[in-house]
Each structure stands twice: as C-alpha cells, then as structure tokens.
Amino acid sequence: MNRALAIAAHPDDIEFVMAGTLLLLKQAGWEIHYLNLSTGNCGSMEHSPAATRRIRRNEAVASASILGAFWHPPFCDDLEILYAVPLLRRLAAVVRQVRPSIVLTHSPQDYMEDHSNTCRLAVTAAFSRGMPNFKTTPSRRAVDVDVTVYHALPHGLCDPLGKPVIPTHLVDTTRVQTQKRRALAAHTSQKSWLDKTQGMGSYLDAMDQMSREVGNLSRRFEFAEGWRKHLHLGFCDGQADPLREQLGKDCLVNRGR
C-alpha cells in the first residue's frame, strides 16, 4: 500500500495548502495520513487554552474524516514548535510507523516560525527513518523505504521578505475543491480568529482565492496546489517523482525550475 503523510503545524494548515493533493492521492488508491504538530491552543480570542485544545482537536478529527485520512494526535502547543530533539524523536516515530512514500509539509520559507520549524522537523524525521542508532519516542525500528518530500507553497505565496515562491509542481485540485472546502469548514472556530488576527475575511473564500491564484500559474487549472520537490539525496532515487507519476495529467511539472 502506498502511503502519503501530511505534516503541518496547526489544525487547518493541511486544509489550506495540502488537502487537495491528499484527496487526489486517495482517489489514486493511496492511504493518506494527517498530522498537525500543534494543538492550536492559541487560536482563539474567546476560549481558554485548554478549551481551545479540545475544540480544535475535535475539528481536526472531523476534517480528517471528511478527507478520509488517518488522524495522528499533536505533540505540542502553538509557538512551541521548535527544532529540538524531543519533538524530532516524536515525529520520527510517526514517520517510521506510517512508512510513507510521500511526505507533504510546509515550505522552508514561510510567514511564521511554526511553519518553518515544522518543515525542518519533517525533513529530518524523514531523513532519519533508516537510522537504527537514532532512537524515537515511542521506540520504532528503523525502516528501509524511499520517501519523496514535497514542500507546499507558503501562505501568501511568497517568502517572509515578500519574494514570490515559484512551484515546480502544480496539482489540479478543481474536481476536489468542494471537498477540500468542506474539510476546512470543519474548523469552525477559526472564522472569527482569522478574521480578527489576520484580516482574512471568510477563511473559506480566502482558501479558494489562494487556490485560484495557484491555478492561474498553470494557465490551465481553475484551482491548484503548488509544490516544490526536496532534493533527493538521502531520501529517494534521483528520478523519483511520485506526484507526477501517480497524478498524471493532474500534475503539471515546470521542468525549467
């Protein structure tokens, strides 16, 4: 069974920039997995951290169910996603348990450190999958599997200094956009939070608009998600590109990048 593991920072991050690709992989017969490192405990103006953790956990479980994904529990709280060994051991255990052929994660350059640190942790956890001398929490044996890592586009489609980030892969999410929107809508607590803190208006419409902007980059797709493939060294064969291989015409590769 081919498996894809999405590793994001907060509840709703997967839905914004990764869920369409997960849905297409599921349609292609893949098993899909859903993991946010943080509980999302700071994502409320009305509720306590403990109440927010409970609310956002329930929303994430509901969203994963809509996607048809296996849900994995978070490890830490907001703004506490640090590139540190304890978190790395926890994440590496999940990678070894799932044995993914594809890891989807954040861009190395993004607007906030939780995203960037999640990216670093995901890359190292995937890299360490076959190292028996690196101990995980809980203990998991090293696994001999190839994995290809893909980075989503950052929020706003640019790095923290405003430079546009150009994808190497564009995945047509048009036919699954409605389901992707339903999955994001499961995070009902985030409407007022995002409106107040990030000026996003309707977060559902903001996600659709970003997907349209990425689709416009293809000059072909109405809605799309963009990806950059991580360098293969230590991960997989140099020619490996399972997104292109599995999604076919739904994946446009910019070979000039």
pLDDT along the chain (257 residues), means of 10: 97 97 98 98 90 96 98 98 98 98 98 97 98 98 98 95 96 98 91 58 85 96 98 97 97 76
Query: What pLDDT was estimated at residue 196?
Result: 57
CB 107 within 8 A of CB 149: no
Q: What is the pTM of this model?
A: 0.95
Structure-block tokens of residue 227: 């990806």
| Beta-carbon contacts of residue 108 (< 8 Å; ≥ 6 apart) | 116, 119, 120, 151
Query: What pLDDT was estimated at residue 42?
Result: 93
Domains in the chain with CATH codes: 3-253 (3.40.50.10320)
Q: Computed over its alpha carbons, how large is the radius of gyration of the chain?
A: 17
Query: What pLDDT was estimated at residue 74?
Result: 98
Query: What pLDDT was estimated at residue 162?
Result: 95
Query: What pLDDT was estimated at residue 189?
Result: 87
| Residues 10-37: tens digit of each pLDDT | 999 999 999 999 999 999 999 999 999 9
Looking only at the bridges linking them, the beta strands covering 224-229 and 148-152 are antiparallel
